[in-house]
Structure 1
Amino acid sequence: MDPMEALVAQIRGLSSCAGDLSRLQSILKQADDSLRFDSTRLSAVLSQLDPSKHSLGCLYILEASTAGPVSKEQADILVPVIARFINSSAAEHIRMAPDKFASVCKRLKDQVMLLNVPVRGVAPLLTAVRKLQTTTEHLTPLHPEFLLLCLLSKCYKAGLSILEDDVFEIDQPRDLFLYCYYGGMICIGQKRFKKALELLHNVVTAPMSTINAIAVEAYKKYILVSLIQHGQFSTNLPKYTSSVAQRNLKGFCQPYYELANIYSTGKIAELESYVETNREKFENDNNLGLVKQVVLSMYKQNIQRLTQTYLTLSLQDIANTVHLNSPKEAETHVLQMIQDGEIFATINQKDGMVRFLEDPEQHKSCEMIEHIDSSIQRIMALSRKLTAMDEQISCDQLYLSKAGRERHRYDFDDFDSVPQRFNI
C-alpha cells in the first residue's frame, strides 16, 4: 500500500478515542518529515478526511502543506480551507499539538494580510483562541495575532471580547507584551482610556532583562493616555518596574515627556505650538491622532478646573478663559462633559449661564450597591487566586533551590568574608 494511503487509513482508524489518539500522534510525528517532502499530494489527501472527526491528522497534514512560501493565488485558496478546519476541529484533538495548531493559525493571519483582507481572519482566529485555551485565564500565542487582525480591520468590539478575561497563565513573555500593547490600542480606538491605561501599564512594568521596542512604544502611548484620562502624568514608575525600564524608557520618549510638562501648565497655545513643531516625530510614531486627542482633552481639563473655583460662569467667560473660539463652542464642550459624567452642571439657555453642581451620586442606589458588591466579589476571588499561586510557588523546587542559593550568598554569619563581598 502507498505510504500516504496507509497514513490516511491510520488517521481514520485511530481518531475515535483518547488512547488511540496518543498512538496516532506518535505515528504522525514519525511521518512529519515525509509529509513535508511530499507536500504536493497533501491537498488531495486532506480532502479524504473529515476535520471534525480526524482533527489531529488534518492538523499535521495542513501544517505540512502550508509550510512553504505562499502566493496571493494560493492564499486565496488556503484561507477558506484553514478557516473551515479551525471552525470544525475538535478542541481535544488540536490541544495535543498546540504548537502546530498555533502555526497553522498564524499562517492564516499572514495570508489574510497578504490578501489585504484582515477582517477574513478575525472570526476564525477568535474561534481558534477559544479552542486552544484550557481556561479563559490562559493567554495563548494566538491572542496577539487575533488582536492584531482586529486592529488592522478596525473590528475593535471583537477584540474587546477577549480583553475582559483575567489572565493568570502565560506561555511566552512576548505574548503578554503584544497582547497588552495591541489590547491597549484597541481600547484607545474605542475611547476606553481607563482600560487602555491598565493594559499599557502592564507592558511598561512587566519584568524585562533588556529594553524592548514594544515597551518603548507602549510607554509613549501610556504618557498620552494618562494625560487624556487623568489630566496629568507621573514620571515615577512603581517600585516593581524593572530597573532596565526605569533607567532607559525616558531616553526613548523625551518628546512625550516635554509634551506632558507643557500640558501641566494648562497653556493651550504653547501645547498646540509644541505639537505643530514636533508633528513629524509624532506622525512617524503613528501617535499624531492620539496627540490631537491630548490637545482636545486640555480644554476639558481647563473647564474642570473652573468647577473648583466658580459656582456659576457665563459661556462667554468659559470660552475666554479656556481659549475657545466662541460661546457656542464652549457650550458644546460643556454639554459633552455633562453627558460623559465628567462634570455636573446645568446651562440656562436664556442668559447663557452655566451653574456647576456637586456630584449627585449618594452611593445608595440599587445599581451602585450591586456594583460595589460585584467589585468586592472580584477582589475576594483575586485574593484567593493570589494565595493559591503563593502556595504553589513556595513549594516549587526550582524556586526553593534558587532562593536557597541567594540566601547563602547573602549569609552574614561569616563575618570574615563580609569585607570581601562588599569591597570594603
Structure 2
Amino acid sequence: METAEALVVQIQALSGSAEDVSHLHSCLKQSEELLRQPTSLAPFLDRLDPSKHSLGYLYLLEAFTSCPISKEQANELILLIVRFVNSCNAEQIRLAPDKFVSVCKRLKDQAMLLDAPIRGVSAMLTAIRKLQPSSEHLTTLHPDFLLLCILAKCYKTGLHLLEDDIFEVDLPRDLFLYCYYGAMICVGLKQFQKSLELLHNVVTSPMSNLNAIAVEAYKKYILVSLIHHGQFSTAFPKYTSNVAQRNLKNFTQPYLDLASSYSNGKISELEMFVLSNKDKFELDNNLGLVKQVVSSMYKRNIQRLTQTYLTLSLQDIANRVQLNSPKEAEMHVLKMIQDGEIYATINQKDGMVRFIEDPEQYKTCEMIEHIDSSIRRIMALSKKLTAIDECMSCDPLYLAKIGRERHKFDFDDFDNVPQKFNT
C-alpha cells in the first residue's frame, strides 16, 4: 500500500508539462505489476483529478476495472468511467490508447449487462473523438459505439458518426463491424442507399478467409437490395476477393432463392416461400427485413403500373397488385406519394388515380445548393485519394513488394521494348 501511495504522489507531481507526463508514463509502465495486485484502488482514484491526472488515473482505472464486477457494482462503475471519459485530457490518454480502449469497452460491457445501452452512447462518442487523431481515422471503439446505438435505438446519433469519411483503419475487423453495424442503423432510419453502400464495403473488402460478418452482411445486402431497388444481381464486382466470390453464395442460399421468387412478381408465391422458410429467417434475426421485402413488392408492382397507365381506378390497382381492397390500395399509393416513390393524384370522388411526371425541374435554389455541395465533396475526396496514392507510392513496404515482383521479368528483353516501338 505504501508503494501505491508513492505512485499516487508521483502521478500528482508529474501531470503538468509534456516532459513530466512523458516521464510519468515510463514510471507507470514499470508499476503495472503493482497495479495488478489484489488491492482496492478505489480510494486512490478519489485522490486524483481525472482532468489533470488523466494518464495516471487511466492506469489505475484500467487496473481497477479489470477485476470481476458484479451486477450491483456495474452501476457505480459506469458512472466512474463516464466521468473520466468526459473530463480526461485527450493528449494524455493518447499516450496509452490500448488502456483507454480497454476501459471504454468495459463501459460498453457494463451498460449491456444492466440492459441499459443508452447509458454508454454519449460517453462512447466522446471517447472516440478524444482518441481519434482526426475524423478520418477509424478507431476500434467505432463498432462498439454503433452497437450501443442499435441496442438503444439511437439511430440518428449513430448516423452522425457515419457521416465522417474514413481513410485510415487500424484493424480490418473494425472496418467490417463498423460497416455492418452502420448498415443496420441506416436500415433503422430507412436510408437504404447508404445501407447498401456500407454492406457493399463488407462484401467486397479484401479477405483471405471468409468470415461470419461478411456472410451476415451478404444476407442483408440481398434483402436491402430487394427493398430499395426491387432486384438483386448475383454477380460480384471484379475487385471482390476470390474467397467471397467462391463461398458467400453457399451460406446464403435461402436468401438467393428469396430474390429469385421476388423477381417473378407474384406476391402469393413470395408469401408462401417466406412462410416455408420463416424459421431460417427468424434464426438470422432477419424476419423483419424479409417482411419489408414482401411489402416492397406491392410498391414495385404499383410502380410498374405507372409505366403503362396514365389513370387507373383504386379497384384496378388492388386487383392487379393483389391487394385486398381499394382502401388498402389507396393507403399504399398515398404512402408512395408521400415518400416520393411515385408521382400521382387521387380523385376521392370517383376513386381514380392519375399518374404524373416527376415535377422536379432541378433549378430550385435548394437543388442547386445540393448539387454544389456534392461537387465540392467529390473534389475534396479526389484530392484526398490523390494524396493517399502519392503517399503509397513512396511507402517502403510497397516499393519493396514492387521490387520483388520485378524480378519475375526478364530485364534484358524488357529493355528492348522501347527500341521496338521506336522503329
**The two structures share one fold, judged by TM-score above 0.5:** yes
Tell me what 1:81 maps to.
80
Cα distance in 2, alignment partners of residues 204 and 198 from structure 1: 10
Counterpart of 2:172 in structure 1 is 173
For 1:192, give the aligned amino acid: Q
1:15 matches 2:33: no
Aligned to 1:299: 298
Give the superposition deviation at 1:122: 1.0
How many angstroms does 1:75 deviate by? Answer: 1.5
Q: Which residue in the other structure is 1:186 paired with?
A: 185
Residue 92 of structure 1 pairs with residue 100 of structure 2? no
Opposite residue 282 of structure 1, the aligned amino acid is F
Encode CA deviations 1:218-262: one digit per residue, 9 max, x unaligned.
000000000011111011111111111111100100000010011
1:106-138 C-alpha deviation (Å, 9 max, x unpaired):
011111111221111111111111111111111
- 1:409 to partner: Cα distance: 2.5
- C-alpha displacement of 1:413: 5.7
> 1:41 is paired with a residue of what secondary structure?
coil
Q: Distance in 1 between matches of 2:47 and 2:384?
A: 46
- Native 8 Å contact 2:345 2:355 kept in 1: yes
Amino acid at match of 1:326: S
The structural deviation recorded for 1:79 is: 1.1
TM-score, normalised via structure 1 length: 0.96
Aligned to 1:137: 136
- Which residue is 1:386 aligned to? 385
Change (3 A) 1:410 1:116: farther
- Counterpart mapping for 1:154-165 below 5 A: 154-165=153-164
What is the CA–CA distance in structure 1 between the aligned matches of 2:276 and 2:407, rounded to whole Å?
56
**1:30 is matched with which residue?**
30
1:125 is matched with 124
Q: Output the CA distance in 1 between the equivalents of 2:293 and 2:271.
A: 10
Within 5 Å, which residues of 2 pair with 1:53-64? 53-64=52-63
Task: Report the Cα distance in structure 2 between the residues aligned to 1:188 and 1:86, rounded to whole angstroms.
Answer: 30
SS at match of 1:409: coil
Aligned partners of 2:79, 2:412: CA distance in 1, in Å?
Answer: 68
Structure 2 partner of 1:333:
332
For the residue of structure 2 that corresponds to 1:40, the secondary structure is coil
Instruction: Kindly provide the amino acid, as one letter, of the partner of residue 147 in structure 1.
Output: L
Answer yes or no: is 1:231 the counterpart of 2:230. yes
In structure 2, what is the equivalent of residue 314 of structure 1? Answer: 313
> How far has the Cα of 1:70 moved from its partner?
1.6
In 1: Cα distance, 2:94 partner to 2:293 partner? 44
Residue identity in the other structure for 2:307: Q
RMSD: 1.3
Distance 1:116 1:267 in 2: 42
Which amino acid in 1 is paired with 2:116?
Answer: V
Q: Could you tell which deviates more after superposition, 62-71 or 394-403?
A: 62-71
Amino acid at match of 2:390: E
**Partner amino acid for 2:285?**
N
Matches within 5 A, 1:343-422: 343-411=342-410
The unaligned stretches of length 5 or more in structure 1 are: 416-424
Unmatched runs of 5 consecutive residues or more in structure 2: 415-423
Partner Cα separation in structure 1 for residue 261 and residue 197 of structure 2: 24
What is aligned with 1:152?
151
Which residue of the partner structure matches residue 109 of structure 2?
110
Which region of structure 1 is more displaced relative to structure 2, 305-314 or 146-155? 146-155
- Please identify, of 359-368 and 207-216, the stretch whose mean Cα deviation from structure 2 is larger: 359-368
CA distance in structure 1 between the aligned counterparts of 2:409 and 2:339, rounded to whole angstroms: 55
Structure 1 residue aligned with 2:281: 282
Residues of 2 paired with 1:123 and 1:154: CA distance? 13
Cα 1:329/1:410, change in 2 over 3 Å: farther
Query: Residue 420 of structure 1 corresponds to which residue in structure 2?
Result: none
Q: Distance in 2 between matches of 1:269 and 1:408?
A: 62
Q: Look up the match of 1:418.
A: none
Alpha-carbon distance, 1:407 to partner: 2.5
> Separation in 1 of the partners of 2:412 and 2:166?
42
Instruction: Encode CA deviations 1:159-199: one digit per residue, 9 max, x unaligned.
Output: 11101111111111100000010111111111111111111
**1:69 Cα deviation from its structure 2 partner:** 2.0
Match of 1:209 in 2: 208
Change (3 A) 1:43 1:273: same
- Alpha-carbon offset, residue 410 of structure 1: 4.7
CA distance in 2, matches of 1:170, 1:49: 34
CA distance in 1, matches of 2:180, 2:259: 21
1:411 CA displacement: 4.5
Alignment deviations for residues 59-98 of structure 1 (CA, whole Å, 9 cap, x no partner)? 0000011112221122122111111111111111111111
Structure 2 residue aligned with 1:419: none
User: Structure 2: how far apart are the matches of 1:335 and 1:317?
Assistant: 16
